[in-house]
Structure 1
Amino acid sequence: MIKVCFIRGKYLNNFEGQNYLFNRKDIQFTAVSSLFPLHRRFPFPVQKLTSPVDLPFFNRGIKYLGNRILGDSHMLFGLDELSNKFDVFHTADPHYYYSYQLAKLRKKNLIKTLIATSWETIPFNNESIGKKKLIKHFSLKHIDYFICHTEKAKKTLIAEGVNGRKIELVRLGVDLTRFKPNFVNNKNITILFVGRLVEEKGILDLYEAYKNIKYQISNLKSLPRWQAGKTKILKLRIVGDGPLRDYLLDHIELDKLIDNVTIEQKDYEEMPKVYEEADIFVLPSKRTNTWEEQYGMVLVEAMASGLPIIAYNTGVIPEIVGSAGVLIKEGDRKNLFTSIKHLINVGEHRDKLGKMGRKRAEKEFDAKKTANKIKDIYIKSLI
């Protein structure tokens, strides 16, 4: 039996965690988080350690100060005390402070094997602060193996000097028995967005497109088949939270769309039902200088749920979605509007894309297959 310590600090979550449900006869798996991780309940043992990010007054100002002093605020107090209790330590991106803590232990041979999952798709990112750059490159040097979930992340590591033979490409998947299609042609159409309510996720572009389509429906100008008494009720369901929440709520009220647009938060356990109740999934993510869509688990969840996808062609979105969605040039609001309207009108195209997405999820994004591949990497790392 291999004893694995899986370190994610504050960002321990179940959408990644569902890929680590091993047979307990093979892998004894323990996760390490900060005191207040993203989710509350997990299907595996979790050991919580104190971190600066747990401080009640931790905000952007404190984070900035912590990054300047430490290089990164995601330190985990007491992490070194676990060094002799596990065979494999599996950390996240090398720029996190807890990855640096583990890399120092690995350099001293106080831990046997150090593996890191690297999501980053922008070469030499997270290096604007001198200390953070030192942390990142020290960690890169002392990590034994890397797991990347995309080709773009793998190429980024290689560009930063990592030997490609140390990198394994493994798709992150979902539980296909929970995220499954509900191929029912409803008279009503629900457009779904899941993600942080920030500008780079494209929520404002989506809201604008929805509003324009809704007004056209109300005026019976653009949807001829609805003029024959087949008017559809078009809803926009937004699941997530973030700084744009109040802005959106204000505009929903001003635009008199309170009955048509909802903003809500859901536990991850509730998300399969959310996808089942939707008809079209939209993710118009945009690049920034320091971020682009690195994976988009919501895209995988949507495909597994048999939803047609419309997204901007940015980051790794084309690598994840493939031909199972409609990809649009970033920021092309007119095409976003047209594409959404087309899928509203043409149910056959919705069904076709949805079935293609499910088939792609079964082939590429099955969490059980991912767990087996990761188990093999753990075994290989100890040989």
Structure 2
Amino acid sequence: MHVLITAVGARTEHWTDLFNSLCARPDVRLTVLASDVSPATRRELDRLGQRHANFHSQVLPHRLGEARTGHMASIMVRGGPPLSPPPDVVHIIGEAAYLSTWQVLRTRRRHWPAVPTTLYAAQNVVTRFPMPFPLLEQYAYREVDMILPITPAARQVLRVKGYRGAATDIPLGVDTTTFRPRAEAGTVRTFTVGFVGRFEPHKGVLDLLRAAELADCDVLLVGDGSLTADIERAARCRPGRIRRHHWAGHAELPDLLTQMSVLALPALEIVQRNVLPWIGIPLREQFGRVLIEAMACGVPVVGSDVGEIPYVIGDAGLVFPAGDPAALADRLIKLRACPETTRDLAAAGLHRATTEFAWDRIADRLVQIWRQLHERSMSVPIPARAGQQVRDNAGRKVVA
């Protein structure tokens, strides 16, 4: 089965582990078309091509990029010839309202009208975009065969916005061969709360620093962002208690997670104005992938009650009210005072990560969905528009 996946934006680098899991299946041939991606993504796509004979990728140029507008919805791809042979299934990593999603659906309708299409969805807030994005969104709802929301909240947003088609929840995943418990896990000498991500106000980093001070515990921060200067000032006030590490890739991150007694994600809800200044877009944590990475390493997790953090944590961690450093400090003190609770949460998190969020398991579910859609498409003729020349499911040319 030939699967075409399209993806845009710097965050595409987080999908390469899924691509690797898909390519481990000998009955899958995978083509990835990407655009406006990071240098790290380009390097990883090249490595996948060297590792797997059934993987091919191409980074397409773009007319309009995320850097100019601040939002992936505005990315427009330039070029991209039709594939030969054509795909059996198309999967779009991008929301329904994206310009790039509209481009892919238009290409599919023109060249492969019988090919089933699935679409990723992560929006967990009902957002009303300016024109023409609502029109693109409704067009996508009509064109795709199935949407794959990453959380139940994302599925509910689809229904509120008018999507009535098939939907199956498919979460984000973690590479459990890379993110796994280390022999030295649990040997952290001083109780240390960790954070991995962008040092930005909506991530709650300053709340974490205040909570760590209240709980009198050490801090390990991994990442970078606009609050770096604030973090450095806090470190000077608590010498030797706050450590900061630069951005870490997959190879480094598991070892850094192992240095944490607990990982915290104290995210806040904010209003974003990066499309048009007079249009506010509520921003809530859509998943919190670092939570499942920590769980897979056997590190207990604590998160705020914002967005999908409680859903991802489930019963495998502790949740506190967002914006309440004292409540976060209380959770940290509880874990430090009760090692048995800490061990129980670490075990529950590891089980949750490996049984519900492992990329290998998610890849199995995706292949099963795509194969069913492909088999159904082979048995159901696709009607053509008047005068349009297309090929039927047997490959014969048909003029409507």
Give the one of 281, 287, 297 matched to 2:289. 297
User: Identity over the aligned pairs, expressed in percent?
Assistant: 24
Q: Provide the TM-score with structure 2 as the length reference.
A: 0.80
Shift of 1:324: 0.8
Q: How many residue pairs get matched? A: 349
Deviations 1:298-350 (A, max 9, x none): 11111111111111112111211111111111212211111112222322221
Shift of 1:17: 2.8
Query: Residues 11-90 of structure 1 correspond to what in structure 2 (within 5 A)?
Result: 11=10, 13-20=12-19, 21-22=21-22, 23-34=24-35, 36-37=37-38, 39=41, 40-42=43-45, 43-44=48-49, 45-52=56-63, 59=67, 62-63=68-69, 72-79=73-80, 81-82=82-83, 85-90=86-91
Shift of 1:370: 0.6
Give the one of 206, 209, 219 matched to 1:207. 209
Residue equivalent to 2:398: none
Query: Residues 370-381 of structure 1 correspond to what in structure 2 (within 5 A)?
Result: 370-381=362-373
Once residues 149 and 89 of structure 2 are traced to their aligned partners in structure 1, the CA distance between those partners, rounded to angstroms, is 17
Residue equivalent to 1:236: 219
How large is the Cα RMSD of the aligned pairs?
A: 2.4
Once residues 139 and 272 of structure 1 are traced to their aligned partners in structure 2, the CA distance between those partners, rounded to angstroms, is 38
Residue equivalent to 1:276: 258
Residue equivalent to 1:227: none
Query: Which amino acid is the alignment partner of residue 303 of structure 1?
Result: M
Shift of 1:372: 0.5
Q: 3-state SS of the aligned residue for 2:224?
A: coil
Q: Provide the TM-score with structure 1 as the length reference.
A: 0.83
Shift of 1:267: 1.5
Shift of 1:259: 5.7
Question: Would you say the 8 A contact 2:11–2:37 is kept in 1?
Answer: no
Shift of 1:84: 6.3
Stretch of structure 1 that moved more, 339-348 or 150-159: 339-348
Q: 3-state SS of the aligned residue for 2:118?
A: strand
Deviations 1:45-100 (A, max 9, x none): 4310112466xxx74xx316xx7xxx943111113544863222211211222101
Residue equivalent to 2:6: 7
Residue equivalent to 1:231: none
Residue equivalent to 1:262: 244
Once residues 318 and 83 of structure 1 are traced to their aligned partners in structure 2, the CA distance between those partners, rounded to angstroms, is 44
Q: Aligned in 2, Cα 1:155/1:370: closer, same or farther, shift over 3 Å?
A: same
Shift of 1:109: 5.5
Q: Higher strand share goes to which structure?
A: 2
Structure 1 runs (4+) greater than 6 angstroms displaced:
none
Query: Which amino acid is the alignment partner of residue 6 of structure 2?
Result: I
Q: 3-state SS of the aligned residue for 1:8?
A: strand
Shift of 1:252: 2.5
Shift of 1:35: 5.0
Deviations 1:109-143 (A, max 9, x none): 545222111011112x1x33212222222222212
In structure 1, list runs of 5 or more residues that go unmatched.
215-233
Shift of 1:262: 1.3
